[in-house]
Structure 1
Amino acid sequence: MLMINHEFTEILRQNYPIFIPTITTPGSSVYHKLFHSDKPGKSLLFDIIKNYNLEERCQLYFSNVEMTDDLIVNPHEYLLYDKFDYMEWDEYQSESINILNGEFGPEYTVTKKDMKKIKKDFKASREKIAKHEQTLHDYFTHVKVFNKCFIDKDSAFIADQKQILSKVNWKDSYLTTKNQDVNYDNLEAKVYPWLTRKSPHFELLTTTSEVIEFDFDPNNFLLNYKETLNGKGIVLTISDSHVDDCVRLIHLLRYLGNTLPIEIIYTEGTLSDESKLQIRGASTSQSDQNYPVQDVTLINVSPAIDSNYKYKFEKFGNKILAVLFNSFEEIILIDADTILTKPPDFFFELEKYKQSGTLFYRDRNTAEFRSDYDIKLFLLLMNSHLDEKLFGLSQISEKTMSMPAISQKISHVMESGLVLINRKLHFTQPLVMANLNFFSPIAEKLYGDKEMFWLSLSIMGDENYEFDNLPAAAIGDFTPYEERINNLENPPKEFKSQELCSNHPAHINDEDDHTLLWFNSGFKFCNQGANVDFEAEFTKGDRFTNLKTLEQFQAFWENKLEIKYAMVPPKNAQTDDEYLDEPNKAWQHMGQYCGGYTWCAYSSIGNSDDPDDKGFIIKFTPDEIEHFNKLGEVWMHSYNYLDE
């Protein structure tokens, strides 16, 4: 038996090597129950891998799940995030002493009793975190195993396993009872209690105005929904506050010749009849008679979401619902204030999308960094070696480890104003995204929805996603030399770098390192008018000093963005090189302008010859500039369809 045991161990080692960066992943409590109790774990594992089909593995797994409040995954689980609890010992001790000094005065001397309590509290915080981490890992494993068993239903890996073990006969293996007592009727409801398993309401806004509901099997709601997906389309989520931008976007799409259908996701009570009239008018108005009418469907997702969980999807969470509840097989998800410079169908022909069924774009490469614990938590959610052996859920590889959020601890990797996804290939992604959004220890580290798109795929073991290689660019015109030396005591005669200040993160096609594909924050130079104190910003005098009066300053802020250049900053977010008068960061936040939205990009940082300290500049052709100007005119026009 020992020889067969060794042979089996060697087969596992060769075919399912453990990915070292995730070796500390706690593993599901279900696995601990199965393989680390009084049962002979390795012989049971052998028996499962050699003899169990996917359905039998699923039965075994879910019959060993311990439920809370009759739920397998509880979105209301109270996992309070307190940064203090996550500090390492030295920082925890120092901060605890600071708290005592704040209570009793700076001269207070810390006693042995105080230190004993601090150590006790630190130990308690470690235990609480470990418990929370196990809960989170369990929840995400339950979700991924359910998705594998009942939505993806991909069992090809099992045939490979049977082939590998076909000549191994471990007669003393542990035989468990295959017929487990699992009630599948309510399993989906226990894993996804936030779903009512009822259809959203589809309102055919620009055709018949009919409202349609689909009839789904409540016990197989998600699989049924996946099977109805069809075609390509544009998806966005809005409320009344976004309607002005949405109307402008629709006119922009018409000008670009868009022929793809549009689905707008919203929740009950957030989109008024007046807003619907404006959207219908923008889509069908004959004043744009030379441009195609748009096919728009409004999707009210409230009927599909249990009312007890609707608050979980406020703000950025609406984009998760937009990804899940549209009807398309392939989507281009955009924000209402996104500016496309190419027709939407152009994006579906980009090579990286065709290869992977996804295409994501990078955020500004700013020098803002994550804590070590952020990285640890992300890795704790990844698939374990047992997930891969039992359910074919792949462990991550160096692809995930090389993501800047992990390899460089960069805080902002992805910009989600435009996202492409083939939903048939990646259908369960928004289900994992939703769970990332539910629990504050994770959500507090993600700054909205942006990082959820790629992180959810890595957590699933689906690394078949692609990013445009280039970080976000700044667009507009260069800062004159005279302005850059404003606050310098000994200004240089010239700068090695160029500076371009912009309020719009922009995205360049990495297939040619030239084409401007899209940018965010509308077409006004500053799209934050409601948050701008024009007089206060005008008097700063750090930049934009060519605007001599307050009236000129305000008019420039509210006018169309003029795009002459794009600047893609260096790959390195910052440099330790001796930089003298040169910038040491790829981006400098000019928070005193445009309500905090202005960032200045630099063509190089420091004075070294490191290629990663150098970006590049794109000078647009007269034809390209004319195209941008026309797009700006379309977007900046005033539209009102309430009186028609």
Structure 2
Amino acid sequence: MTSLLLLCIVPFFLVQIISVDSEQSAFARSHNSHVRTPAPPLTVPKYEASVFQANHTPRFPDATRGIVMTLHNNMAALGISLIQELRRLGNRLPIQVYHCFTGELLEATRNLLRQTDPLDLVEIVDVCPVLLQNGVFATHWSALDYQSYLLKVVALLHTSFDEVMLLDADAIFLQNPDVLWSIDAYRRTGTLFFFDRQIDFKLFFNSPAPGGRTLLRHLYVHFPYEAFGLRMPGVSPQLRTSRAWQGATAHEQDSSVVLVRKSQVPPVVFQVMWHLVHYLRTDRVFKAGLSWYVRIVDASQRRKPSGDKEYFWLAFMLADAPYEFSPYAAADVALPEDMVRHPDTLCGNMAHYLPVPDEAKAVLLYVNGNDLLAPYFRAGDLRPLADNATWAEKEAFLVERIPAHVTPRRTERSYEPDRTGFHEACLIHQGAVPIDDPTFRPRVDQRIRETIAAARLVQTKPPNNWVPVARVAA
């Protein structure tokens, strides 16, 4: 009986293996034979760590592991409260805070950041003048392009730390993020990434490209591999089964937390990453943006690719280097009205579970919580507060809206195409469970109060008129 069963099963698996190999081979053959030609030598400089790091003496030269965040004036209050939160959770790592020119992070704010840390382990790095001096940036104006989000890629490439934990200032942790260093995925590959929500829009790397492909597949075919000593990689099972490759999402990675051990990663990965963000990002073919973009507020209404989040996994994929995502999909916390209007659909900030596969208990690790903390309300937020609301009123408003529910932990990402009445952040029909961590509400409450306290001191835009940070020259 066993022999008969094997005779039935083995041919099935052989067919599956052959079909997968054929799919990959056909894709490679069609694009190699009809599209790809040997890439000419690069006419732009490659990333070199020694060039990036010249003319900068790190404050913690012997520290191999550290936290890196990028801040500007309008995010500084959240950065200050994050430092307080990390120390309260027992994190003792040195922290590098990156900014681009003095106007992006004023001197008084830099001093506040230093004074916040009871361990005195904060280094402020104004990286753009250094990279101008080193010839990485050709002009002051090209350097200005890296203010805000794109600076995260630059910070990873520049930092003196080998083991890097990139954090967004609006991350709200329920436990010390040091727990992530011991995750098996990180130990195996030197990387740990988290998924964004699956959003099936034809935007960003999922935009239509020449030849009827998505922009992601166009990049895969046309990237100048030879210039980096690479060959076009096969379509790995990891890539083939990803929502990004399948054309089913415009967002793959949430970069609010990114872990990389640089010494474990092939150096070519960082060359590819720099080429993507500094050169291909501005290529006309990629004007849709591999990551998200901002719309230039002028008569042209041009779109400028400004998001950082997809460049991390894309660099590893193109360089055929191993990388790993959390085994769990992104979750959402609830907005106050969600549990009344649609209790199986949450629409609040993104949240992530501790990325330990097969763990019986779902442990909420952190919330990417800008809307839970932000003391500066954008015009159009439709928040029920007067334009002249006081800091105390804003604090009370945020505390009242602390969520009590979260999307259950899931391994499969999914997207509901019928989104009538729901915005893109909503995880439709994915359920809701109570947040069972008893420390959640008091931790978020304290984080809100510390953020508001910092916002009272930080010099920035008026709190009811939040706009992207002004480009102020050094």
TM-score, L = length of structure 1? 0.53
In structure 2, C-alpha distance between the alignment counterparts of 1:587 and 1:470, rounded to whole Å: 27
CA distance change for structure 1 residues 632 and 515 in 2, over 3 Å: closer, same or farther? farther
CA contact under 8 A between 1:254 and 1:294: conserved in structure 2?
Answer: no
Q: Which residue of 2 aligns with 1:457?
A: 316
In structure 1, C-alpha distance between the alignment counterparts of 2:420 and 2:191, rounded to whole Å: 27
Which consecutive residues of structure 1, in runs of 5 or more, have no partner in the other structure? Answer: 1-15, 31-64, 67-71, 75-189, 208-227, 285-292, 485-496, 540-549, 576-583, 591-598, 605-613
In structure 2, give the amino acid aligned to 1:433: M
Alignment equivalent of 1:300, drawn from 119, 123, 126: 126
In structure 1, give the amino acid aligned to 2:38: S
- Bigger CA radius of gyration: 1
**Mapped pair 1:271 → 2:105:** yes
In structure 1, give the amino acid aligned to 2:138: S
The percentage of aligned residue pairs carrying the same residue is: 19
Please state whether the residue corresponding to 2:117 is helix, strand or coil.
Answer: helix
CA contact under 8 A between 2:331 and 2:350: conserved in structure 1?
Answer: yes
CA distance change for structure 1 residues 240 and 431 in 2, over 3 Å: closer, same or farther? farther
CA contact under 8 A between 1:587 and 1:600: conserved in structure 2?
Answer: no
CA contact under 8 A between 1:240 and 1:275: conserved in structure 2?
Answer: yes
Q: Which residue of 1 aligns with 2:413?
A: 571
**TM-fit CA distance, 1:398:** 2.3
In structure 1, C-alpha distance between the alignment counterparts of 2:340 and 2:82, rounded to whole Å: 37
CA contact under 8 A between 1:560 and 1:633: conserved in structure 2?
Answer: no
In structure 1, C-alpha distance between the alignment counterparts of 2:317 and 2:384, rounded to whole Å: 45
CA distance change for structure 1 residues 559 and 313 in 2, over 3 Å: closer, same or farther? same
CA distance change for structure 1 residues 481 and 323 in 2, over 3 Å: closer, same or farther? closer
**Mapped pair 1:470 → 2:328:** yes
**Mapped pair 1:345 → 2:178:** yes
**TM-fit CA distance, 1:450:** 1.3
Q: How does 1:535-554 map to 2 (within 5 A)?
A: 538=384
**Mapped pair 1:378 → 2:212:** no
In structure 2, C-alpha distance between the alignment counterparts of 1:586 and 1:379, rounded to whole Å: 34
| Alignment deviations for residues 285-319 of structure 1 (CA, whole Å, 9 cap, x no partner) | xxxxxxxx141122232223333342453443211
Alignment equivalent of 1:411, drawn from 246, 250, 261: 250
In structure 1, C-alpha distance between the alignment counterparts of 2:239 and 2:328, rounded to whole Å: 18
**Mapped pair 1:22 → 2:28:** yes
CA distance change for structure 1 residues 470 and 443 in 2, over 3 Å: closer, same or farther? farther
CA contact under 8 A between 1:479 and 1:499: conserved in structure 2?
Answer: no
Q: Which residue of 1 aligns with 2:152?
A: 319
Please state whether the residue corresponding to 2:193 is helix, strand or coil.
Answer: strand
In structure 2, C-alpha distance between the alignment counterparts of 1:478 and 1:271, rounded to whole Å: 34
In structure 2, give the amino acid aligned to 1:573: Y
Q: Which residue of 1 aligns with 2:117?
A: 283
Alignment equivalent of 2:363, drawn from 515, 518, 523: 515
Q: How does 1:175-254 map to 2 (within 5 A)?
A: 190-191=45-46, 199-202=54-57, 204=59, 231-254=64-87
In structure 1, give the amino acid aligned to 2:427: A
In structure 2, C-alpha distance between the alignment counterparts of 1:265 and 1:297, rounded to whole Å: 9
CA contact under 8 A between 2:346 and 2:432: conserved in structure 1?
Answer: no
**Mapped pair 1:530 → 2:377:** yes
CA contact under 8 A between 2:197 and 2:413: conserved in structure 1?
Answer: no
CA distance change for structure 1 residues 275 and 630 in 2, over 3 Å: closer, same or farther? closer
In structure 2, C-alpha distance between the alignment counterparts of 1:630 and 1:239, rounded to whole Å: 22
CA distance change for structure 1 residues 453 and 615 in 2, over 3 Å: closer, same or farther? farther
In structure 2, give the amino acid aligned to 1:201: H
| More relative contact order, 1 or 2 (CA 8 Å, 6+ apart) | 2
Q: Which residue of 1 aligns with 2:8?
A: none
| Alignment deviations for residues 455-498 of structure 1 (CA, whole Å, 9 cap, x no partner) | 11111111x111112222111467467645xxxxxxxxxxxx62
In structure 2, C-alpha distance between the alignment counterparts of 1:373 and 1:505, rounded to whole Å: 26
TM-score, L = length of structure 2? 0.70
CA contact under 8 A between 2:193 and 2:325: conserved in structure 1?
Answer: yes
| Alignment deviations for residues 566-595 of structure 1 (CA, whole Å, 9 cap, x no partner) | 1147732026xxxxxxxx4599318xxxxx
**Equivalences, count:** 389
| Alignment deviations for residues 335-372 of structure 1 (CA, whole Å, 9 cap, x no partner) | 12222222131111122212221111111223324233
Please state whether the residue corresponding to 1:303 is helix, strand or coil.
Answer: helix
In structure 2, give the amino acid aligned to 1:29: P
Alignment equivalent of 2:169, drawn from 329, 332, 336: 336
Q: How does 1:343-492 map to 2 (within 5 A)?
A: 343-369=176-202, 370=206, 371=208, 372-381=213-222, 394-426=233-265, 427-437=267-277, 438-439=279-280, 440=283, 441-442=285-286, 444-446=288-290, 447=292, 448-462=307-321, 464-476=322-334, 479=337, 483-484=341-342
CA distance change for structure 1 residues 624 and 242 in 2, over 3 Å: closer, same or farther? closer
| Alignment deviations for residues 136-174 of structure 1 (CA, whole Å, 9 cap, x no partner) | xxxxxxxxxxxxxxxxxxxxxxxxxxxxxxxxxxxxxxx
Q: Which residue of 2 aligns with 1:559?
A: 399
Q: Which residue of 1 aligns with 2:301?
A: none
In structure 2, C-alpha distance between the alignment counterparts of 1:268 and 1:623, rounded to whole Å: 38
Q: Tell me the C-alpha RMSD between the 2 structures.
A: 3.9
Which consecutive residues of structure 2, in runs of 5 or more, have no partner in the other structure? Answer: 1-20, 293-306, 459-474
Please state whether the residue corresponding to 1:559 is helix, strand or coil.
Answer: helix
In structure 2, C-alpha distance between the alignment counterparts of 1:528 and 1:615, rounded to whole Å: 29
In structure 2, give the amino acid aligned to 1:300: D
In structure 1, C-alpha distance between the alignment counterparts of 2:117 and 2:158, rounded to whole Å: 22
Q: Which residue of 1 aligns with 2:347?
A: 501
In structure 2, C-alpha distance between the alignment counterparts of 1:635 and 1:520, rounded to whole Å: 15
CA contact under 8 A between 1:236 and 1:335: conserved in structure 2?
Answer: yes
**TM-fit CA distance, 1:413:** 1.3
CA contact under 8 A between 1:366 and 1:586: conserved in structure 2?
Answer: no
Please state whether the residue corresponding to 1:324 is helix, strand or coil.
Answer: helix
In structure 1, C-alpha distance between the alignment counterparts of 2:153 and 2:181, rounded to whole Å: 21
